[in-house]
């Protein structure tokens, strides 16, 4: 694999009402452990898969929106990126700020309304890869496909590579092509439910076997939302944890 494209996902973050409940659910499903970073970081938890970092978790509070998984994209210059985001029609919710010795972060919405974060850091990254319990794909579902592609090209300097025929009912593009692709944009306008935002990011986690994972999710109090279905990349399902937070699994 060549160097990762600009704007590649570098972090995932869980916003959950009850972190103790999240520990039990995700520990039972993926074998994760959640470690409290202490008062210095506001009780922020690190999600660990063995010795490898998966991402972070924090308790969702009023004003933070619906409990969810959040994706952070990397940047070499977060202040310039924030200005580009504003000029491209995005909205900055948390201005660029330093986070200890971890670099600088910002939180924003893109011009289609999808919430996401940005990190400028030499150390913040997802360490767990290519094994069960690791995040393996990151995807923007959007009701405004062309606008989303424009925003991520201009702001995060994405190398947008269309997959298959464009201008049809189902359109998809990736940041980077082939084996170097790191994230996708899906034209979800035909099937985004009215109860969810026009655009939103979602995270896929690897499992050994999809149907067995669905049964385990049910045992832990979660539920199957959609699927499972076969794809060229594995058997995929959309699921919810026991606090109603959606994510994807792929076996």
104: containing domain = 9-120
Do 84 and 144 share a domain, yes or no?
Answer: no
Res 64 pLDDT > 60? no
Instruction: Please give the Cα distance from 129 to 35 (Å, whole number).
Output: 19
Instruction: Please give the Cα distance from 54 to 50 (Å, whole number).
Output: 10
Three-state helix/strand/coil letters over the chain: CCCCCCCCEEEEEEEECCHHHHHHHHHHHHCCEEEECCHHHCCCEEEEECCEEEEEEEECCCCCCCCEEEEEEECCCHHHHHHHHHHCCCEEEEEEEECCCCCEEEEEECCCCCEEEEEECCCCCCCCCCCCCCEEEEEEEECCHHHHHHHHHHHHCCCEEEECCCCCCCCEEEECCHHHCCCEEEECCCCCCCCCCCEEEEEEEECCCHHHHHHHHHHCCCEEEEEEEEECCEEEEEEECCCCCEEEEEC
Do 62 and 103 share a domain, yes or no?
Answer: yes
Res 42: pLDDT: 76
Do 104 and 29 share a domain, yes or no?
Answer: yes
Do 110 and 33 share a domain, yes or no?
Answer: yes
Q: Is 129 within a domain? A: no
Res 1: pLDDT: 39
| Peptide linkage before 159 cis (omega within 30 of 0) | no
Contact call for residues 115 and 65 (beta carbons, < 8 A): yes
Res 93 pLDDT > 80? yes
Do 101 and 146 share a domain, yes or no?
Answer: no
Res 189: pLDDT: 85
Res 219 pLDDT > 50? yes
Token pair 């939103």 in the structure block, residue = 200
pLDDT band at 225 (very low <50, low <70, confident <90, very high): very high
pLDDT band at 112 (very low <50, low <70, confident <90, very high): very high
pLDDT digits (tens, 9 = 90+) for 144-165: 999 999 999 999 999 999 987 6
Do 175 and 150 share a domain, yes or no?
Answer: yes
CA separation, residue 91 to residues 11, 26, 114, 189 (Å): 20, 32, 10, 22
Q: Is 128 within a domain? A: no
Q: Is 41 within a domain? A: yes
Res 228: pLDDT: 96
Res 173: pLDDT: 96
pLDDT band at 210 (very low <50, low <70, confident <90, very high): very high
pLDDT band at 77 (very low <50, low <70, confident <90, very high): very high
Res 90 pLDDT > 60? yes
Do 92 and 157 share a domain, yes or no?
Answer: no
More confident residue, 36 or 134: 134
Dihedral sign computed on CA atoms, order 69, 70, 73, 74: negative
Res 76 pLDDT > 90? yes
More confident residue, 54 or 102: 54
Do 114 and 198 share a domain, yes or no?
Answer: no
pLDDT digits (tens, 9 = 90+) for 186-198: 999 887 766 666 8
Res 92: pLDDT: 96
Output the six-digit token pair for 157. Answer: 């300097």
Do 156 and 243 share a domain, yes or no?
Answer: yes
Q: Is 1 within a domain? A: no
Average pLDDT of every residue of the chain: 91
Q: Which residues contact 57 (CB under 8 A, 6 or more apart)?
A: 13, 14, 15, 16, 19, 22, 34, 44, 45, 46, 47
Q: Domain containing 60 — which CATH number?
A: 3.10.180.10
Do 98 and 171 share a domain, yes or no?
Answer: no
Q: Is 96 within a domain? A: yes
Instruction: Please give the Cα distance from 187 to 93 (Å, whole number).
Output: 25
Res 167: pLDDT: 66
Last residue within a domain, chosen from 52, 85, 120: 120
Do 88 and 143 share a domain, yes or no?
Answer: no
């Amino acid at each position: 694999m060549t160097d990762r494209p600009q704007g590649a996902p570098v972090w995932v973050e869980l916003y959950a009402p009850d972190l103790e409940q999240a520990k039990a659910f995700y520990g039972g499903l993926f074998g994760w452990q959640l470690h409290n970073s202490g008062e210095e970081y506001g009780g922020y938890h690190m999600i660990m898969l063995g010795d490898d970092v998966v991402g972070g978790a924090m308790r969702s509070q009023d004003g933070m929106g619906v409990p969810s998984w959040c994706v952070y994209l990397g940047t070499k210059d977060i202040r310039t990126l924030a200005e580009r985001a504003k000029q491209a029609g995005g909205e900055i919710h948390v201005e660029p700020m330093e986070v200890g010795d971890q670099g600088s972060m910002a939180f924003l919405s893109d011009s289609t309304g999808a919430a996401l974060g940005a990190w400028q850091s030499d150390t913040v990254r997802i360490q767990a890869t290519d094994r069960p319990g690791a995040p393996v794909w990151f995807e923007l579902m959007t009701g405004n496909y062309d606008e989303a592609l424009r925003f991520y090209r201009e702001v995060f300097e994405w190398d947008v590579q269309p997959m298959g025929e464009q201008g049809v009912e189902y359109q998809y593009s990736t940041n980077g092509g082939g084996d170097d692709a790191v994230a996708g944009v899906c034209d979800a306008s035909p099937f985004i439910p009215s109860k969810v935002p026009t655009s939103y990011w979602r995270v896929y986690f690897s499992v050994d076997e999809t149907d067995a994972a669905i049964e385990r999710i049910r045992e832990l109090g979660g539920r199957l939302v959609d699927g499972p279905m076969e794809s060229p990349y594995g058997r995929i399902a959309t699921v919810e944890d026991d606090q109603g937070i959606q994510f994807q699994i792929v076996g």
